[in-house]
Amino acid sequence: MRYFAIGFDLLTALLDTWTLWSAVAGDRPTGMRWHAASQAQLRGKPYFPFEQIVRESAAEVGLAPVKAEELLRRWGEFDPWPDVTAVLSRLENTTRFIVTNCSRELGARAAKRAGSFDLVMTAEEAGAYKPDPRPYRAALAALGLDAKDVLFVAGSAHDVGGASRVGMDVYWANRGQVAAPTDGAALRTEPDLRGLVALAEA
With beta carbons less than 8 A apart as the criterion, state whether 118 and 110 touch: no
Q: What pLDDT is stored for residue 46 in this prediction?
A: 98
Residue where one domain finishes, among candidates 74, 98, 120: 74
Shared domain check, 141 and 101: yes
List CB contacts of 133: < 8 A, sequence separation 6 or more: 162, 165, 166
Domain identity same for 67 and 94: no
Q: Domain range spanning residue 172?
A: 5-16+78-201
* Separation between Cα atoms, residue 39 and residue 59, nearest integer Å: 14
Total of domains in the chain? 2
Q: Give CA torsion, residues 136, 96, 116, 154, to 10 deg.
A: 60
CATH number at residue 85: 3.40.50.1000
For the cut 90, the answer to whether the pLDDT of residue 202 exceeds it is no
Same domain, 99 and 43: no
Q: Is the pLDDT of residue 124 over 90?
A: yes
Assess contact for 23 and 31: CB atoms under 8 A.
yes
| Distance of alpha carbon 151 from the chain centroid | 14
- What is the reported pLDDT for 174? 97
Question: What confidence tens digit (pLDDT) does each residue in 153-169 have?
Answer: 999 999 999 999 999 99
Residues 107 and 155 in one domain: yes
What whole-number distance in Å separates Cα of residue 67 and Cα of residue 73?
10
Give the model's confidence band at 1: pLDDT under 50 very low, under 70 low, under 90 confident, else very high: confident
Q: Do residues 12 and 23 both lie within one domain?
A: no
* Cβ atoms of 45 and 128 closer than 8 Å: yes
Q: Is the pLDDT of residue 201 over 90?
A: no
24 and 83 together in one domain: no
Query: Is pLDDT at 34 greater than 90 in this prediction?
Result: yes
**For the whole model, what pTM was predicted?**
0.96
Quick one: pLDDT at residue 182? 87
What is the share, in percent, of the chain residues with pLDDT greater than 90? 94
On whether both 70 and 146 belong to a single domain, the answer is no
Provide the pLDDT for residue 33: 98
CA pair distance 156, 109, nearest whole angstrom: 21
Domain boundary among the residues 48, 74, 100 is at: 74
Q: What is the tens place of the pLDDT at every residue in 102-116?
A: 999 999 999 999 999
pLDDT value at residue 146: 98
Contact assessment for residue 94 and residue 6, using Cβ atoms and an 8 Å cutoff: yes
Do 107 and 162 fall within a single domain? yes
Domain-ending residue, one of 43, 74, 105? 74
Same domain, 125 and 156: yes
Instruction: Give the CA angle between residues 195, 75, 65 to the nearest 5°.
Output: 135
Question: If pLDDT is split at 50, 70 and 90, which confidence band does 91 have?
Answer: very high
One domain for residues 87 and 9: yes
Q: How far apart are CA 106 and CA 87, in angstroms?
A: 24
Stretch 186-191: mean pLDDT: 96
Whether 40 and 9 map to the same domain: the answer is no
Cβ atoms within 10 Å of 140's Cβ, excluding its own: 24
Q: Tell whether 150 and 161 lie within a shared domain.
A: yes
Band (22; pLDDT cuts 50, 70, 90): very high
